[in-house]
Amino acid sequence: MIQKNYSDKIESYIREMPSLPVSTGKVLDLCNKATVNPSELNQVISLDPVLTGRLLQLINSAYYGINPHVTSLVRAITMLGLNTVKNLTLTTAILATLPKNKDISGLNMEEFWRHCLCVGVTSKFLASMQGVDPKYHQDYFTAGLLHDIGKIPLNAVLSAGYMDTITIADRDKKTFFTAENDCLGINHCAAGEMIAKAWNFDSPLADIITWHHNMDGYYGEYLHILYNVAIADYFSIVYDVGFAGNKNPVMPANEIWEAVGLNKNSFETLKEKVNKEIAKASIFLNISQNS
Protein backbone atom coordinates (compact mmCIF):
# COMPACT_ATOMS: atom_id res chain seq x y z
CA MET A 1 0.00 0.00 0.00
CA ILE A 2 1.36 3.46 -0.90
CA GLN A 3 2.15 5.48 2.19
CA LYS A 4 0.24 8.71 2.66
CA ASN A 5 1.09 11.37 5.20
CA TYR A 6 -1.95 12.74 6.97
CA SER A 7 -0.10 14.71 9.67
CA ASP A 8 -1.39 18.11 8.49
CA LYS A 9 -4.96 16.86 8.34
CA ILE A 10 -4.74 15.40 11.85
CA GLU A 11 -3.07 18.52 13.23
CA SER A 12 -5.82 20.69 11.74
CA TYR A 13 -8.50 18.47 13.29
CA ILE A 14 -6.83 18.65 16.71
CA ARG A 15 -6.56 22.45 16.51
CA GLU A 16 -10.33 22.61 15.98
CA MET A 17 -11.12 20.41 19.00
CA PRO A 18 -12.73 22.34 21.90
CA SER A 19 -10.38 23.64 24.58
CA LEU A 20 -10.46 22.13 28.05
CA PRO A 21 -12.55 24.13 30.55
CA VAL A 22 -10.83 27.07 32.26
CA SER A 23 -11.62 25.50 35.64
CA THR A 24 -9.51 22.47 34.69
CA GLY A 25 -6.43 24.60 34.19
CA LYS A 26 -7.01 26.38 37.48
CA VAL A 27 -7.35 23.10 39.38
CA LEU A 28 -4.18 21.71 37.79
CA ASP A 29 -2.26 24.89 38.64
CA LEU A 30 -3.37 24.70 42.27
CA CYS A 31 -2.53 21.00 42.57
CA ASN A 32 0.96 21.65 41.19
CA LYS A 33 1.70 24.24 43.90
CA ALA A 34 4.02 23.27 46.74
CA THR A 35 1.24 23.87 49.26
CA VAL A 36 -2.51 23.94 48.70
CA ASN A 37 -5.43 23.13 50.96
CA PRO A 38 -8.84 21.61 50.12
CA SER A 39 -10.68 24.91 50.69
CA GLU A 40 -8.66 26.58 47.90
CA LEU A 41 -9.60 23.78 45.51
CA ASN A 42 -13.19 23.93 46.68
CA GLN A 43 -13.37 27.63 45.74
CA VAL A 44 -12.30 26.83 42.16
CA ILE A 45 -14.17 23.56 41.62
CA SER A 46 -17.44 24.81 43.15
CA LEU A 47 -17.64 27.51 40.45
CA ASP A 48 -17.93 24.72 37.86
CA PRO A 49 -21.18 22.84 38.57
CA VAL A 50 -20.43 20.16 35.97
CA LEU A 51 -17.04 19.33 37.48
CA THR A 52 -18.49 19.48 41.00
CA GLY A 53 -21.23 17.04 40.00
CA ARG A 54 -18.77 14.64 38.41
CA LEU A 55 -16.43 14.56 41.40
CA LEU A 56 -19.30 13.95 43.81
CA GLN A 57 -20.75 11.27 41.53
CA LEU A 58 -17.37 9.57 41.31
CA ILE A 59 -16.61 9.51 45.01
CA ASN A 60 -20.09 8.09 45.69
CA SER A 61 -19.86 5.48 42.93
CA ALA A 62 -18.84 1.82 43.12
CA TYR A 63 -15.52 2.89 41.62
CA TYR A 64 -14.50 4.17 45.06
CA GLY A 65 -16.95 2.26 47.25
CA ILE A 66 -17.00 4.93 49.96
CA ASN A 67 -19.70 4.81 52.63
CA PRO A 68 -21.57 6.83 53.90
CA HIS A 69 -22.68 9.11 51.07
CA VAL A 70 -20.41 12.16 50.61
CA THR A 71 -22.23 15.46 50.00
CA SER A 72 -19.48 17.95 50.87
CA LEU A 73 -17.07 18.89 48.09
CA VAL A 74 -14.37 19.82 50.63
CA ARG A 75 -14.74 16.40 52.25
CA ALA A 76 -14.58 14.69 48.84
CA ILE A 77 -11.37 16.59 48.00
CA THR A 78 -9.86 15.70 51.38
CA MET A 79 -10.74 12.02 51.06
CA LEU A 80 -9.50 11.72 47.50
CA GLY A 81 -6.24 13.62 47.99
CA LEU A 82 -4.70 16.28 45.76
CA ASN A 83 -3.07 13.92 43.27
CA THR A 84 -6.32 12.03 42.69
CA VAL A 85 -8.35 15.24 42.38
CA LYS A 86 -5.84 16.50 39.82
CA ASN A 87 -6.05 13.29 37.77
CA LEU A 88 -9.83 13.03 38.02
CA THR A 89 -10.30 16.66 37.01
CA LEU A 90 -8.04 16.28 33.98
CA THR A 91 -9.46 12.91 32.94
CA THR A 92 -13.10 13.94 33.21
CA ALA A 93 -12.41 17.11 31.22
CA ILE A 94 -10.57 15.19 28.49
CA LEU A 95 -13.15 12.41 28.18
CA ALA A 96 -16.09 14.83 28.12
CA THR A 97 -14.42 16.91 25.39
CA LEU A 98 -13.32 14.10 23.07
CA PRO A 99 -15.63 13.22 20.16
CA LYS A 100 -17.51 9.96 20.69
CA ASN A 101 -17.65 8.94 16.97
CA LYS A 102 -19.83 5.90 17.59
CA ASP A 103 -21.15 5.68 14.04
CA ILE A 104 -17.95 5.81 11.98
CA SER A 105 -16.59 2.82 10.09
CA GLY A 106 -13.18 2.60 11.79
CA LEU A 107 -12.52 1.44 15.34
CA ASN A 108 -15.51 0.42 17.45
CA MET A 109 -15.35 3.03 20.23
CA GLU A 110 -17.00 0.87 22.89
CA GLU A 111 -14.38 -1.83 22.36
CA PHE A 112 -11.66 0.81 22.19
CA TRP A 113 -12.61 2.26 25.58
CA ARG A 114 -12.90 -1.21 27.09
CA HIS A 115 -9.30 -1.85 26.02
CA CYS A 116 -8.25 1.49 27.53
CA LEU A 117 -10.09 0.74 30.77
CA CYS A 118 -8.34 -2.60 30.99
CA VAL A 119 -4.93 -0.98 30.51
CA GLY A 120 -5.72 1.65 33.16
CA VAL A 121 -7.04 -0.87 35.68
CA THR A 122 -4.17 -3.31 35.08
CA SER A 123 -1.54 -0.56 35.37
CA LYS A 124 -3.04 0.45 38.70
CA PHE A 125 -3.09 -3.15 39.94
CA LEU A 126 0.52 -3.66 38.89
CA ALA A 127 1.52 -0.51 40.76
CA SER A 128 -0.21 -1.84 43.87
CA MET A 129 1.52 -5.22 43.54
CA GLN A 130 4.87 -3.42 43.32
CA GLY A 131 4.29 -1.42 46.51
CA VAL A 132 3.86 1.98 44.84
CA ASP A 133 2.52 4.63 47.24
CA PRO A 134 -1.31 4.56 46.91
CA LYS A 135 -1.45 8.33 46.36
CA TYR A 136 0.21 7.72 42.97
CA HIS A 137 -2.03 4.84 41.87
CA GLN A 138 -4.33 7.22 40.00
CA ASP A 139 -1.34 8.33 37.88
CA TYR A 140 -1.04 4.74 36.66
CA PHE A 141 -4.76 4.43 35.97
CA THR A 142 -4.96 7.75 34.11
CA ALA A 143 -1.87 7.00 32.02
CA GLY A 144 -3.26 3.59 31.06
CA LEU A 145 -6.75 4.90 30.36
CA LEU A 146 -5.52 7.66 28.04
CA HIS A 147 -2.40 6.06 26.51
CA ASP A 148 -4.14 5.49 23.14
CA ILE A 149 -5.86 8.88 22.95
CA GLY A 150 -4.07 9.59 19.65
CA LYS A 151 -6.18 6.92 17.94
CA ILE A 152 -9.29 9.06 18.37
CA PRO A 153 -8.41 11.79 15.82
CA LEU A 154 -6.94 9.18 13.44
CA ASN A 155 -10.15 7.19 13.70
CA ALA A 156 -12.34 10.28 13.29
CA VAL A 157 -10.52 11.81 10.31
CA LEU A 158 -9.40 8.64 8.51
CA SER A 159 -12.08 6.13 9.49
CA ALA A 160 -12.10 4.12 6.25
CA GLY A 161 -8.30 4.21 6.01
CA TYR A 162 -8.05 3.26 9.65
CA MET A 163 -10.19 0.20 9.07
CA ASP A 164 -7.92 -0.74 6.15
CA THR A 165 -4.90 -0.31 8.45
CA ILE A 166 -6.43 -2.74 10.97
CA THR A 167 -7.00 -5.27 8.16
CA ILE A 168 -3.47 -4.90 6.79
CA ALA A 169 -1.90 -5.20 10.26
CA ASP A 170 -3.81 -8.44 10.82
CA ARG A 171 -3.11 -9.83 7.35
CA ASP A 172 0.61 -9.05 7.41
CA LYS A 173 1.06 -9.94 11.12
CA LYS A 174 2.36 -6.46 11.91
CA THR A 175 1.90 -4.48 15.07
CA PHE A 176 -0.80 -1.87 14.60
CA PHE A 177 1.73 0.89 15.38
CA THR A 178 3.90 -0.29 12.46
CA ALA A 179 0.90 -0.57 10.14
CA GLU A 180 -0.15 3.00 10.99
CA ASN A 181 3.27 4.28 9.95
CA ASP A 182 3.32 2.17 6.78
CA CYS A 183 -0.21 2.97 5.65
CA LEU A 184 -0.83 6.48 6.93
CA GLY A 185 2.57 8.05 7.51
CA ILE A 186 1.54 8.91 11.06
CA ASN A 187 0.92 6.85 14.19
CA HIS A 188 -1.27 7.28 17.25
CA CYS A 189 1.67 8.25 19.49
CA ALA A 190 2.48 11.18 17.18
CA ALA A 191 -1.19 12.17 17.08
CA GLY A 192 -1.38 11.80 20.86
CA GLU A 193 1.64 14.06 21.26
CA MET A 194 -0.18 16.71 19.20
CA ILE A 195 -3.16 16.50 21.59
CA ALA A 196 -0.87 16.65 24.62
CA LYS A 197 0.74 19.84 23.29
CA ALA A 198 -2.57 21.41 22.24
CA TRP A 199 -4.06 20.82 25.71
CA ASN A 200 -0.84 21.45 27.66
CA PHE A 201 -0.67 18.05 29.35
CA ASP A 202 2.21 17.73 31.75
CA SER A 203 4.11 14.59 32.71
CA PRO A 204 3.62 11.74 33.33
CA LEU A 205 0.53 11.66 31.09
CA ALA A 206 2.11 13.44 28.11
CA ASP A 207 5.16 11.16 28.28
CA ILE A 208 3.17 7.92 28.35
CA ILE A 209 0.91 9.02 25.46
CA THR A 210 3.96 9.95 23.36
CA TRP A 211 6.45 7.18 24.21
CA HIS A 212 4.53 3.97 24.99
CA HIS A 213 5.61 2.37 21.68
CA ASN A 214 9.12 3.83 21.66
CA MET A 215 10.37 3.14 25.17
CA ASP A 216 14.00 2.77 24.07
CA GLY A 217 14.02 6.45 23.16
CA TYR A 218 12.56 7.65 26.47
CA TYR A 219 14.87 9.29 29.02
CA GLY A 220 12.32 10.93 31.30
CA GLU A 221 11.57 10.22 34.95
CA TYR A 222 8.40 8.19 34.46
CA LEU A 223 9.88 5.00 33.04
CA HIS A 224 8.22 2.91 35.76
CA ILE A 225 4.73 4.07 34.73
CA LEU A 226 5.66 3.63 31.06
CA TYR A 227 6.76 0.03 31.67
CA ASN A 228 3.60 -0.77 33.63
CA VAL A 229 1.40 0.64 30.86
CA ALA A 230 3.32 -1.42 28.25
CA ILE A 231 2.77 -4.61 30.26
CA ALA A 232 -0.88 -3.73 30.88
CA ASP A 233 -1.39 -3.04 27.16
CA TYR A 234 0.06 -6.46 26.35
CA PHE A 235 -2.19 -8.05 28.98
CA SER A 236 -5.31 -6.49 27.46
CA ILE A 237 -4.48 -7.79 23.98
CA VAL A 238 -3.44 -11.29 25.11
CA TYR A 239 -6.63 -11.74 27.11
CA ASP A 240 -8.76 -10.10 24.41
CA VAL A 241 -10.24 -7.38 26.62
CA GLY A 242 -11.66 -4.77 24.25
CA PHE A 243 -10.01 -3.97 20.95
CA ALA A 244 -7.89 -1.00 19.83
CA GLY A 245 -6.65 -2.25 16.46
CA ASN A 246 -3.75 -4.46 17.50
CA LYS A 247 -4.00 -8.23 17.05
CA ASN A 248 -0.25 -8.84 16.95
CA PRO A 249 1.28 -7.54 20.17
CA VAL A 250 4.97 -7.77 20.93
CA MET A 251 5.75 -9.13 24.38
CA PRO A 252 7.59 -6.54 26.48
CA ALA A 253 11.32 -7.21 26.69
CA ASN A 254 12.76 -9.14 29.63
CA GLU A 255 14.38 -6.01 31.05
CA ILE A 256 10.95 -4.37 31.30
CA TRP A 257 9.57 -7.25 33.36
CA GLU A 258 12.69 -7.22 35.52
CA ALA A 259 12.57 -3.46 36.01
CA VAL A 260 9.09 -3.63 37.54
CA GLY A 261 9.81 -6.83 39.48
CA LEU A 262 7.21 -8.97 37.73
CA ASN A 263 7.18 -12.08 35.61
CA LYS A 264 4.83 -13.27 32.92
CA ASN A 265 3.02 -15.58 35.37
CA SER A 266 1.73 -12.50 37.20
CA PHE A 267 -1.03 -12.31 34.58
CA GLU A 268 -2.81 -15.40 35.88
CA THR A 269 -3.35 -13.80 39.29
CA LEU A 270 -4.64 -10.62 37.66
CA LYS A 271 -7.34 -11.91 35.31
CA GLU A 272 -10.24 -12.22 37.71
CA LYS A 273 -9.37 -9.04 39.64
CA VAL A 274 -9.06 -6.99 36.46
CA ASN A 275 -12.41 -8.14 35.06
CA LYS A 276 -14.17 -7.16 38.29
CA GLU A 277 -12.43 -3.81 38.43
CA ILE A 278 -13.29 -3.02 34.80
CA ALA A 279 -16.98 -3.22 35.71
CA LYS A 280 -16.39 -0.63 38.44
CA ALA A 281 -14.19 1.54 36.24
CA SER A 282 -16.91 1.59 33.56
CA ILE A 283 -18.89 3.76 35.97
CA PHE A 284 -15.95 6.16 36.09
CA LEU A 285 -15.88 6.29 32.29
CA ASN A 286 -19.63 6.88 31.97
CA ILE A 287 -19.64 9.68 34.53
CA SER A 288 -16.56 11.30 32.99
CA GLN A 289 -17.88 11.27 29.42
CA ASN A 290 -21.31 12.70 30.21
CA SER A 291 -22.01 16.35 30.95
What is the block-wise mean pLDDT of the chain (291 residues), using blocks of 10 residues?
70 91 89 84 90 87 81 89 87 84 74 93 92 91 95 90 92 94 94 94 93 92 95 93 91 89 77 83 78 52
Question: With the CA atoms of 111, 98, 138 and 280 taken in that order, what torsion angle do they form, in degrees rounded to the nearest 10?
Answer: -40
Give start-end residues of each CATH 1.10.3210.10 domain in the chain: 101-291
Q: Cα–chain-centroid distance for residue 132?
A: 19
User: Alpha helix (H) ranges present in the chain?
Assistant: 7-15, 22-31, 38-45, 49-59, 73-80, 82-97, 109-129, 137-146, 151-157, 159-171, 176-184, 188-198, 205-211, 223-238, 254-259, 266-289
The whole-model pTM stands at: 0.91
Is domain 101-291 in CATH 1.10.3210.10, yes or no? yes
